[in-house]
Structure 1
Amino acid sequence: MALEIDPKKLLYFAAVIEQGSLNRAARQLSVSQPALSTSMDRLEAELGMQLLERGPKGIVATRKGDILYCHARLIREEIQLAERDLLNADDCRSESIRIGSLPSLASKIVPMALSKWRETHEGGHLEVVENAQVDLLTGLLRRDFDFVIGFTKVFDMLDGLRQRVLFRDTLRVIAGINHPLRELETLTWGDLVKYPWISPTSRRTHTVLDHIMRTMDAPLPQITVCGSVSLLKSLVAETEHLALLPAHAVREEVAEQRLYELPFFDPTLNRDIAVFFREGYVMDQPRKDLVACVTEVGMELCRDKKLDEVPA
């Protein structure tokens, strides 16, 4: 049976949950308390379920009310995004450039690219968000970002998005200087997955390990999630955890012998880095220049230095 839900009542409902009081929510919404109370009664009647209950700490959501609140909040955010985009479409307004980036790229490539871009765009306003790829692309579809810098391999494209490959980087298996695996001359995935791993994003987005484990028909190893690449590096240095990071992201730590790059190579560790954008999206010159800077920096940092040292 289909439910008829009034979107306006959902916005009111979200405010009631967040304020925990009809009086406070009514003031925030600029409506009368009796009118808001009637609106909530009608919403419950229309859905045929209790959504709110009064407790000692004020009004709280029931289990079903909590489910509805999650969707009500998203609807409100979509309306706010639509308002922002419509206002930004006015030529008189200065629009921010909003990009999303994988944490492993935001640690070095993106900052260097932004610095290079600033040389010719001093007054441009930028917002950069680090997150897992699936969350970045979902945000891109919701118009949270102008474009996203991510990877293409072992990932199903979402409808409505397009991609353009910028450069290729290589993931390395990173360990602490005194890790037990340093004693092995030849390493296999079987050796590596015996140890716990650390990821800067959620377990569900560790696509390389997930792909390997499915190929081996084995469960994922223990994965600890930390909030940043810098924290990941510290944990790897002090424990027996392993991590996958691009070679460019750990070059300094390896050179200074604070981290160790295990001599393990696999084709699955090569990945194409691309810019993702919505279908039909047209970049202006500042955005094109920013993507060009990311490409230039990425190609330079990911260039195989060893090949340059081979005499002609």
Structure 2
Amino acid sequence: MSSEKPTRRGGLRIDSVFPVRQISSRGRPMDNHAPTGRGASLLDLGDQLQNLRMFLFAADAQSIAGAAKQLYKSPSAITRSIMELEKVVGVQLLERNSRGILPNAYGDVVLARSRRIEAELGQAAEDLATPRSQGTPPSPSAISHFLFNGRKLRLLIHLADSRKISTAAARLDISQSGASMALSRIEAAVGEPLFHRGMHGMIATEMADGLVMRAKRVFAELRHMLSEISMLSGSLAGSVVAGTLPLGRTYVLPMAIAATLERYPGIRVTTIENHFEQLVTDLRSGEIDAVLGVPRDESQRQGLSVEPLFLEGLRVIARAGHPIFERGAITLADLGAERWVLPWSNSLSHRLIEEAFRLEGLEPPVASVESADLQVMRQLLLSSDMLAIASPRQLSYELRSGLFLEVPVALRGTEREVALMTREGAMLSPAALAVLDAIREQATADPRRMELLVPD
């Protein structure tokens, strides 16, 4: 068992443990793999990449001897590797018969994920072997040894994220000199440096960025594999990571999570709140399974699958009892002298607000406070006569309870398409798919539809 310390990247712990029951392909506990009282973890599976590769070769060859011949290993070494893998995942993966070996239902799950891992690492090997301007590039086979090593992949991930060899070493629970030596061996295998050393730490090169992205996808495949095994064992469980932008943060996503956990209490969900560019970066690397929010222009959608859910506009919001409601008929021009809580000036919402005022021939409002924090906005509105411009879904509880009211003026052109974004080609786990289905249901079932809130 690795002694590696848990780490958090974007909210996801890569030591997350999911319950995987110890059962055989026939639904009985494995005789020589008694339950240990704990589940397989990403750290455990990360250390099994070489064994997954041997399992893949054996399953494809339908023969231990055939795999041994292709990998230049002894049949006993292949058998030990597969047995170790089965012990870690807690289930039997292969059926032995007179024709050779065949994957069972659990083996099919592991085989599918192993193929995807091999494809990611194979592409990484090709990228690393791309001819350079100087020297002879290494062959893909020459660098596969470290690519199928979970600890080396984790070293690169931690180093790229923290930019400090000392931090990466601490997260791997090894000495700094040991981490430096391991990195030097990796760079020697690749044939060039993967990190720039400078005053601001160790900055990943473009080549390292590509390798780290694929390494993160490998761990995403392992995370999904655990969920699939758990489902076959009779309990839908696993870890799901959802990125969210403000429009989905306060109602749709929380309601979807609550509905999912009511049905499947073994699922664990981590939500990540960040700016769009970082969420999409983590989505492409597999660290995030899906992002709920407003997609940006086409150039930023490359490699993403975008599923529109609903349209949402911006509204002027004030506390109940605000003096503005005593004025009778109100137009947008009547609000010029008010004090405002507005989104950040560099945000899409802020640009839409400015355009809405200009459509009416008015100067855009000047923000007294710029904030994306709903708690700040809520308290400012409750304790003053300030106005805010926000999505009704963001303040659905306050509007339903009567704490806040919509000022009856229209903001033309502020409707935005809220969508569910996933990575093209991703094969999400059953747990992640369950959360996505719940998000779709909540987007449809939300009673505060935009058309019910817009004054004519």
Q: TM-score, normalised by structure 2?
A: 0.48
Query: Gaps spanning 5+ residues in structure 2: where?
Result: 1-131, 135-154, 186-191, 231-236
What is the deviation of 1:175?
2.4
Work out whether 1:172 is the aligned partner of 2:315. Answer: yes
Aligned AA (1:101): T
Work out whether 1:88 is the aligned partner of 2:223. Answer: yes
Decide whether aligned partners of structure 1 residues 129 and 14 sit closer, same or farther in structure 2, where only a CA change above 3 A counts. Answer: closer
Partner of 2:175: 27
Work out whether 1:276 is the aligned partner of 2:407. Answer: no
Partner of 1:58: none
* Percent identity of paired positions between Structure 1 and Structure 2: 18
Decide whether aligned partners of structure 1 residues 276 and 69 sit closer, same or farther in structure 2, where only a CA change above 3 A counts. Answer: closer
What is the deviation of 1:231?
3.0
* Cα offsets for 1:118-173 (capped at 9, x unmatched): 23222112111223334322321232211111124x74442111211123334322
Work out whether 1:209 is the aligned partner of 2:350. Answer: yes
Q: 2: CA distance between counterparts of 1:299 and 1:145? A: 23
Decide whether aligned partners of structure 1 residues 29 and 113 sit closer, same or farther in structure 2, where only a CA change above 3 A counts. Answer: farther
Matches within 5 A, 1:191-210: 191=335, 195-199=339-343, 202-204=344-346, 206-210=347-351
Aligned AA (2:350): L
Work out whether 1:247 is the aligned partner of 2:397. Answer: no
What is the deviation of 1:109?
1.9
Aligned AA (2:163): A
Decide whether aligned partners of structure 1 residues 260 and 75 sit closer, same or farther in structure 2, where only a CA change above 3 A counts. Answer: same
Q: 2: CA distance between counterparts of 1:193 and 1:142? A: 47
Q: 2: CA distance between counterparts of 1:275 and 1:283? A: 14
Contact 1:176 1:260 in 2 (8 A): yes
Taking CA–CA contacts closer than 8 Å with sequence separation of 6 or more, which of the two structures ends up with the larger relative contact order?
1
* Cα offsets for 1:61-113 (capped at 9, x unmatched): 2xxx4694899997896476245235336566875211111233221221111
Partner of 1:232: 377
Contact 1:102 1:133 in 2 (8 A): yes
Q: TM-score, normalised by structure 1?
A: 0.66
Q: 1: CA distance between counterparts of 2:246 and 2:238? A: 25
Aligned AA (2:255): M
SS at match of 2:291: strand
SS at match of 1:250: helix
Aligned AA (1:173): V
Partner of 2:434: 289
Larger radius of gyration: 2
Decide whether aligned partners of structure 1 residues 143 and 189 sit closer, same or farther in structure 2, where only a CA change above 3 A counts. Answer: farther
Contact 1:247 1:302 in 2 (8 A): no
Work out whether 1:186 is the aligned partner of 2:330. Answer: yes
Matches within 5 A, 1:27-176: 27-30=175-178, 61=199, 65=200, 68=203, 78=213, 81-82=216-217, 84-88=219-223, 90=225, 95-152=238-295, 155-156=297-298, 157-176=300-319
Contact 1:104 1:229 in 2 (8 A): no
Partner of 2:367: 222
Contact 2:332 2:410 in 1 (8 A): no
Query: Gaps spanning 5+ residues in structure 1: where?
Result: 20-24, 40-45, 53-60, 308-312
Contact 2:241 2:289 in 1 (8 A): yes
Count of residue correspondences: 277
Decide whether aligned partners of structure 1 residues 251 and 92 sit closer, same or farther in structure 2, where only a CA change above 3 A counts. Answer: closer
Matches within 5 A, 1:250-265: 250-265=395-410
Aligned AA (1:279): E
RMSD (Å), alpha carbons: 4.7
Contact 1:172 1:246 in 2 (8 A): yes
